[in-house]
Chains A and B, each alone.
Chain A
Amino acid sequence: MTSVSQSAAAASVAPTTRPVFDWVLGLAIAAVAAVYVRAIYFTPAEALQGLAQKIYYVHVAAAIDAYVAVSITALMSLVALWLRDQRADRLAESSAEVGIVFLSVVLTTGPIWGHKIWGTWWAWWEMRLTLTLFLWFVVAAYLVLRGAIEDDAMRARYSAVLAILGALLIPFIHLSVYMFAARLHPMPVVLKPSQPSLPSEMLTTFVLSVCAFTFFCAALIRARYRYGILRDLAASLDAEGNAA
């Protein structure tokens, strides 16, 4: 285990060579804050939905990034299973954790917005929201599964299997919810929260918000990945200490 001791020695000499929190994350947070300011103060309110529509800039960006993050998890899980690559597994894990954060934002801002628009807190016929809910459950199961396995190799294998099966599941849920919703509730035409007509100012804010939140999402995944490296290092040192 000389390579581990060497990296341990290196880490002990300079434990912060790859800091978890650095200027990239700070910049990303600043970008998000800037978008907040622009959305709140410098973008007009929408005609039909009023100020509530502004949640759109946070809600939709979060949804896009959540799906991207979760897709990264699925893809990296495939790589990790096929190539037995630990880094892919770590990236899958980081992406899943950040993904569930963004999914949570979608699931909290959705009902807050929807309550005003639809008159109910939850709408099962709102396909994207319902799909996001089930996706949240699958990612939560993924994270709990990872937490319940101590052996590294088994954890990587099992969570990869779950991620890949989960990826297979999503189209079925999408189709099932669609068939459920189409029967129950024709899509409301007048107030469609997802596609308000966007004059150029609002479109710009929207594009900026997607860019800023995506940057934030990437920065978070990067930070979480680095934390994962440190955590694994600490765990392997522990294991070494116990074995010695």
Chain B
Amino acid sequence: MSERRPPGLFCAAWLVARKDLAIEYRTRTAFFSALVFAVLALTIFYFTWDESVISPNDRAPGVLWVVLTFSALLGLQRSFGLEEYDRGIDALLVSPIGRESIYLGKALGNLLFLCAIQVIAIPALALFYNLPVGRPLLIVTGIVGLAMIGIVAVGTLFSAMAVNTRLAELLLPMLSLPFFVPVLMNAAQAATKIFAGRPVAEVWPWLKVLIAFDIVFVVACTIAFPFTLEE
């Protein structure tokens, strides 16, 4: 590739994302472990509640978010973890792309990773829990997408930080989960209403908060990311 100028912000980000996804595609370990977790969780949650007390239909929203959160954490763990080997992060820092692109690229890679999980997990959820397939499910998928952006934005930053500390596996959830709370609260309530057949207009206030969170934290984490790298 004979490029005269270094790639722009989003081009560079896409290159970083592509690299991460290519590495993941070769081994697929994180993908499969997240997938296995998702499917197992779906089945276990089904059996832990008395069917006559709470219908599977009512349980489904809750299960959806638990599965999303924890498969996200599994994916995020590995996000900067894979740079540990051979100090891959140095190669990224030396290359002529901005620090922000590294962050956006990693975040994008994580987002696509999560999407790949959800592409299987959401239909599995609909299958096991007898959800009506139609417009509500589609809207909820959109809500999941919005939630994923927020989760991935903070999670990627904290993954970058946690990997440099002694307690990486403890710190990533500990740092991230408080930040997931507004995302999950609003997304879950909106999704529950949609599943219950309410119109989108009714859940719009929650979606507004979710979108605001996404915008604020994608920007904030992009700005904060260079501080997590060595001078």
Contact residues of A with B, CB < 8 Å?
Answer: 81, 134, 137-138, 140-141, 144-145, 147-150, 153-154, 157-158, 160-162, 164-166, 168-169, 172-173, 175-177, 179-180, 183
Contact B181 A173, beta carbon cutoff 8 Å: yes
* B177 CB contacts on chain A under 8 angstroms: 137
Contact B228 A157, beta carbon cutoff 8 Å: yes
B93 within 8 A of A: no
Contact B171 A145, beta carbon cutoff 8 Å: yes
Contact A144 B167, beta carbon cutoff 8 Å: yes
Contact B171 A157, beta carbon cutoff 8 Å: no
> B207-231 vs A: 1/0 string, CB under 8 Å?
0010011001100110010011011
Which of A144, A147, A165 contacts B224, CB < 8 Å? A165
* A177 CB contacts on chain B under 8 angstroms: 185
* In the complex, chain B residues 100-126 whose Cβ is within 8 Å of any chain A Cβ: none
* A173 CB contacts on chain B under 8 angstroms: 178, 181-182
Nearest-neighbor residue (CB-CB) of A172 within chain B: B182
Contact B166 A148, beta carbon cutoff 8 Å: yes
B2 within 8 A of A: no
Expressed in whole angstroms, the minimum distance between the Cβ of A175 and any Cβ of chain B is 6
B164 within 8 A of A: yes
* A141 CB contacts on chain B under 8 angstroms: 171, 174-175, 178
B186 within 8 A of A: yes
B161 within 8 A of A: yes
Contact B185 A180, beta carbon cutoff 8 Å: yes
Instruction: Please measure, in the bound complex, the distance between the C-alpha atom of A47 and the C-alpha atom of B216, giving whole angstroms.
Output: 46
* B132 CB contacts on chain A under 8 angstroms: none
Number of B residues near A (Cβ < 8 Å) is 33
Expressed in whole angstroms, the minimum distance between the Cβ of B228 and any Cβ of chain A is 7
| Consensus secondary structure, chain B interface | helix
Contact A168 B220, beta carbon cutoff 8 Å: yes
Expressed in whole angstroms, the minimum distance between the Cβ of A105 and any Cβ of chain B is 20
Q: Do A158 and B228 form a contact, CB below 8 Å, given A144-B171, A144-B174?
A: yes
Contact A134 B181, beta carbon cutoff 8 Å: yes
Nearest-neighbor residue (CB-CB) of A159 within chain B: B161
Contact A165 B227, beta carbon cutoff 8 Å: no
Expressed in whole angstroms, the minimum distance between the Cβ of B106 and any Cβ of chain A is 16
Contact B185 A176, beta carbon cutoff 8 Å: yes
Expressed in whole angstroms, the minimum distance between the Cβ of A77 and any Cβ of chain B is 11
Q: Do A179 and B205 form a contact, CB below 8 Å, given A141-B175, A144-B167?
A: yes
Q: Do A137 and B209 form a contact, CB below 8 Å, given A145-B165, A165-B224?
A: no
B206 within 8 A of A: yes
Contact A164 B189, beta carbon cutoff 8 Å: no
Contact B171 A134, beta carbon cutoff 8 Å: no
Contact B170 A144, beta carbon cutoff 8 Å: yes
B76 within 8 A of A: no
Expressed in whole angstroms, the minimum distance between the Cβ of A85 and any Cβ of chain B is 15
* 6 contacting pairs across A/B (C-beta < 8 A): A140-B174, A149-B165, A161-B161, A164-B224, A166-B178, A180-B185
Nearest-neighbor residue (CB-CB) of B231 within chain A: A153
* B171 CB contacts on chain A under 8 angstroms: 141, 144-145, 148
B70 within 8 A of A: no
Contact A165 B154, beta carbon cutoff 8 Å: yes
Contact B217 A137, beta carbon cutoff 8 Å: no
B179 within 8 A of A: yes
7 other contacts beyond A141-B175, A172-B209, with CB at 8 A cut-off?
A140-B174, A145-B171, A147-B167, A153-B231, A154-B230, A158-B227, A173-B178
> B153-172 vs A: 1/0 string, CB under 8 Å?
01001000100111100110
Contact B186 A176, beta carbon cutoff 8 Å: yes
Instruction: Please measure, in the bound complex, the distance between the C-alpha atom of A46 and the C-alpha atom of B161, giving whole angstroms.
Output: 50
Instruction: Please measure, in the bound complex, the distance between the C-alpha atom of A81 and the C-alpha atom of B230, giving whole angstroms.
Output: 14
Pairs of residues from A and B, 4 with the lowest C-beta to C-beta distance, nearest first? A148-B165, A172-B182, A176-B182, A148-B167
